[in-house]
């Protein structure tokens, strides 16, 4: 599976987490201090770092040290149950997410799995020719398998991971966007494909989406041939441009010749803060669930208009 670096000073907690991870097939190295973690990460970069966020180890400082030394490995920080701002603190430290205890096995494994899959998809989708002066490792053959339902592990983690962005958007009033992408008539177009080829086509689609967005964006499977792309710090105009670009790129999916896709776009653009308004003032109703519903409604309108189309929420009609 994956190599996980576990940085947790409490032996009892580390033992439980190690059993979770090794039980799922991951290779685990456990350390009890930030210094040990930095040394271990330099010697062998892990797929994921799972670290205590605060306290004796101070995972937030560890994350900043990793970033300052150029080690861009995914980091998940763990916080005690009484921490009310875990997401914000993790984001400020440069981590991919913050987990609040008590940590359940399913939560830990879901979070680690998504970060590993996302990193594999990004590396697999980067052509070796981009860095011709350096030897390239073999391109990973396995990509994340798209989920068959909206309760996939990837999507559940997306909700947790993006909650911090929704909260920050409300507080600091910057725009965020959500794209709902679906292959047009996928069931019909893929009916002649064997199951392995069908999965391969969907994995290729995910790779196209991941490659077509920024590092701070997140693309995950949602339901069968449908995917969700979250774009923080993206206004309406930018979201439409990204959606149109992805729609065009998906026409080149080799596993599904002549295929097209439709995209529903939902955007929250909080009004500019008044000079006398404090950050986080009430009035912004944006929520992850609301964006998801608006994007889904926009996607249905794009499909009803014939497909191969981008529809932005609140844009009720398709130009002639």
Has residue 277 got a pLDDT over 50? no
Q: Torsion-angle region of residue 3: left (phi > 0), alpha (psi -120 to 50) or beta? A: beta
Q: Residue 315: pLDDT above 80?
A: no
- Is there a contact between 177 and 265 (Cβ–Cβ < 8 Å)? yes
Q: What ranges do the domains of the chain cover? A: 3-124, 153-272+280-312
Q: 5-9, 18-22, 162-166: lowest mean pLDDT where?
A: 162-166
pLDDT for 206-258, tens place per residue?
889 988 998 778 888 887 789 999 898 899 999 999 999 999 999 999 888 78
Reported confidence tier of residue 154, pLDDT bands at 50, 70, 90: low
Strand pairing report for 176-183 and 75-79: unpaired
Using 50, 70 and 90 to split pLDDT, how confident is the model at 131? very low
Angle, nearest 10°, between helix axes 105-124 and 195-211?
A: 80
pLDDT of 111 strictly over 50 = yes
Band (161; pLDDT cuts 50, 70, 90): low
pLDDT at 182: 96
Instruction: Please give the pLDDT value at position 320.
Output: 37
How many other CB atoms are found less than 10 A from the CB of residue 38?
Answer: 18
Which CATH architecture group holds 153-272+280-312? 2-Layer Sandwich (3.30)
Query: What rounded mean pLDDT belongs to the chain?
Result: 80
Where does residue 16 fall: left (phi above 0), alpha (psi -120 to 50 degrees), or beta otherwise? alpha
Which is more confidently placed, 117 or 292?
Answer: 292
Q: Tell me the pLDDT tens digit for each residue of 67-98.
A: 999 888 889 999 888 787 887 888 889 888 88
CATH of domain 3-124: 3.40.50.2300
């Amino acid at each position: 599976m994956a190599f996980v670096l576990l940085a947790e000073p409490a032996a009892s907690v580390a033992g439980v987490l190690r059993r979770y991870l090794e039980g799922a097939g991951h290779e685990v190295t456990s350390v009890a201090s930030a210094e040990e973690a930095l040394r271990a990460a330099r010697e062998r970069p892990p797929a994921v770092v799972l670290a205590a966020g605060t306290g004796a180890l101070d995972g937030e400082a560890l994350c900043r040290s990793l970033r300052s030394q150029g080690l861009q490995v995914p980091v998940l920080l763990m916080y005690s149950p009484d921490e009310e701002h875990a997401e914000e603190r993790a984001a400020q430290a440069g981590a991919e997410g913050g987990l609040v205890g008590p940590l359940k096995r399913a939560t830990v494994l879901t979070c680690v799995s998504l970060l590993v899959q996302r990193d594999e998809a990004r590396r697999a989708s980067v052509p070796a020719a981009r860095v011709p002066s350096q030897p390239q490792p073999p391109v990973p053959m396995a990509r994340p398998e798209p989920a068959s339902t909206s309760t996939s592990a990837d999507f559940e983690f997306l909700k947790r991971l993006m909650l911090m962005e929704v909260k920050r958007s409300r507080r600091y009033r910057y725009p965020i966007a959500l794209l709902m992408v679906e292959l047009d008539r996928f069931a019909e177009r893929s009916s002649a494909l064997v199951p392995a080829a069908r999965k391969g086509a969907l994995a290729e689609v995910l790779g196209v989406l991941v490659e077509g967005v920024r590092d701070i964006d997140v693309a995950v499977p949602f339901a069968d041939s449908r995917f969700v792309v979250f774009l923080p710090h993206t206004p309406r105009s930018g979201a439409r441009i990204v959606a149109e670009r992805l729609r065009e790129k998906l026409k080149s999916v080799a596993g599904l010749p002549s295929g097209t896709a439709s995209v529903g776009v939902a955007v929250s653009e909080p009004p500019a803060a008044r000079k006398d308004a404090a950050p986080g003032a009430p009035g912004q109703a944006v929520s992850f669930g609301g964006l998801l519903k608006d994007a889904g409604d926009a996607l249905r309108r794009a499909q009803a208009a014939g497909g191969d189309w981008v529809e932005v929420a609140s844009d009720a009609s398709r130009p002639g």
